[in-house]
């Protein structure tokens, strides 16, 4: 067992709050490396700073809730029933007590933080980013994806509920493959990410082939390049024109073959995963029956 955790001193708390004001929430390593705070926080780690900051926020929110309830009880005014937007007035504490006081406001469940709105707008791409970054062979479950997003971004409080609905949609349209409550990136998402040259592209040795496919698609779809190719064909002899046409057909067939191969690989991986699940269930059943008979 490790050494017991030491109680936080007032100097350490003040250094933590000042570090968050200077560098922002989540920049725990930067705060520890800052000469201004490193002396006071020399006995603390990244996890210690993160846990302490969470505890400070929870304490601040709980105290604000109690004060708001007392203010509502003392207030003689009665709120209207038809008003869906409720706002609780929070008594601001001094800067020495709380540096990150959050207003308690409920506006039909809409997050007030700009960062939370940005996460909601990019939730599809963030889910694909989480699954790619986790690199779990059998896929990532909803809890793992939620933990990744909560740890890396400033997530809204209803993230897990939104995540459940978004995962169903992505699995339904083929962007994700769901196997036993776990999700993997589907072939359609891989193709779309290749076209966009996203950093989520898996480095599996097929990057060069996908680059060739993009170049061929760009050449076909660009009007100026098409006109240039047509002018070349007009000036060619019959044999040269036939050779150029055959080359274009071969390139198109190669692109189609690559797409079909990617789809077959995805189906094969899914079948292997299902077979492994069936085998595991059968093995567990045989083990249990053998245990009961012995």
As to burial, measured by CB atoms within 10 angstroms (0-12 exposed, 13-18 middle, 19+ buried), residue 254 is middle
What is the 3-class SS of the chain, one letter each residue? CCCCCCCCCHHHHHHHHHHHHHHCCCCHHHHHHCHHHHCCCCCCCHHHHHHHHHHHHHHHHHHHHHHHHHHHHHCCCCCCCCCCEEECCCCCCCCCCCCCCCCCEEECCCCCCHHHHHHHHCHHHHHHHHHHHHCCCCCEEHHHHHHHHHHHCCCCCCHHHHHHHHHHHHHHCCCEEEECCEEEECHHHHHHHHHHCCCCCCCCCCHHHHHHHHHHHHHHHCHHHHHHHHHHHHCCCHHHHHHHHHHHHHHHHHHHHHHHHHHHHHHHHHHHHHHHHHHHHHHHHHHHHHHHHC
Q: Please give the pLDDT value at position 100.
A: 45
Q: What are the tokens at 140?
A: 């990532």
Q: In whole angstroms, how far apart are CA 145 and each of 46, 107, 136, 163, 177? A: 21, 27, 11, 9, 14
Beta bridge partners of 87: 105
User: Do 267 and 195 form a contact (C-beta atoms < 8 A)?
Assistant: no
Distance of alpha carbon 37 from alpha carbon 9, whole angstroms: 14
**pLDDT tier for residue 103 given thresholds of 50, 70 and 90:** very low
Q: What are the tokens at 117?
A: 């709105």
pTM for the model stands at: 0.29
Q: For residues 193 and 131, which has the higher predicted lDDT (pLDDT)?
A: 131
Q: Is 50 exceeded by the pLDDT of residue 87?
A: no
User: Do 111 and 117 form a contact (C-beta atoms < 8 A)?
Assistant: yes
Domain 116-188, CATH number (from 2.70.180.20, 3.20.20.80, 3.60.20.10, 1.10.10.10) = 1.10.10.10
Q: For domain 10-76+86-104, say whether CATH 1.10.246 is its number.
A: yes
Within the chain, all domains assigned CATH 1.10.246 are found at 10-76+86-104
Q: For residues 20 and 71, which has the higher predicted lDDT (pLDDT)?
A: 20
Distance of alpha carbon 137 from alpha carbon 130, whole angstroms: 14
Q: Please give the pLDDT value at position 241.
A: 67
What is the 3-class SS of 31-49, one letter each residue? HHHCHHHHCCCCCCCHHHH
With tokens 């062979």, the residue in question is 137
Distance of alpha carbon 47 from alpha carbon 153, whole angstroms: 16
Q: Is 60 exceeded by the pLDDT of residue 210?
A: no
Q: Please give the pLDDT value at position 222.
A: 67
Of the ranges 11-20, 85-94, 173-182, 243-252, which one carries the lowest mean pLDDT score?
85-94
Within the chain, all domains assigned CATH 1.10.10.10 are found at 116-188
Q: Please give the pLDDT value at position 91.
A: 37
């Amino acid at each position: 067992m490790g050494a017991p955790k030491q109680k936080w001193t007032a100097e350490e708390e003040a250094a933590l709050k000042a570090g968050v004001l200077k560098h922002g929430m989540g920049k725990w390593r930067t705060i520890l490396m800052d000469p201004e705070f490193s002396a006071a926080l020399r006995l603390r780690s990244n996890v210690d700073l993160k846990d302490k900051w969470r505890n400070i926020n929870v304490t601040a929110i709980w105290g604000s809730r109690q004060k708001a309830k007392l203010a509502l009880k003392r207030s003689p005014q009665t709120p209207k029933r038809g008003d869906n937007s409720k706002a609780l007035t929070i008594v601001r504490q001094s800067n020495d007590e709380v540096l990150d006081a959050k207003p308690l406001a409920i506006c039909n469940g809409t997050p007030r933080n700009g960062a939370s709105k940005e996460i909601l707008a990019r939730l599809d791409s963030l889910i694909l980013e989480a699954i790619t970054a986790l690199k779990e062979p059998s896929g990532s479950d909803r809890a793992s994806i939620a933990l990744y997003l909560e740890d890396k971004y400033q997530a809204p409080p209803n993230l897990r509920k939104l995540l459940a609905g978004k995962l169903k949609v992505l699995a339904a349209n083929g962007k994700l493959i769901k196997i036993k409550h776990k999700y993997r990136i589907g072939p359609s998402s891989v193709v779309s990410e290749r076209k966009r040259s996203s950093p989520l592209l898996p480095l599996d040795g097929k990057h060069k082939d996908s680059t060739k496919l993009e170049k061929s698609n760009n050449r076909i779809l660009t009007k100026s390049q098409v006109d240039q190719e047509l002018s070349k064909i007009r000036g060619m002899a019959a044999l040269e024109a036939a050779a150029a046409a055959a080359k274009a057909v071969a390139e198109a067939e190669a692109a189609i073959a690559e797409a079909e191969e990617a789809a077959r690989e995805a189906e094969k991986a899914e079948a292997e995963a299902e077979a492994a699940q069936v085998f595991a269930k059968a093995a567990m059943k045989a083990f249990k029956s053998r245990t009961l008979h012995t």
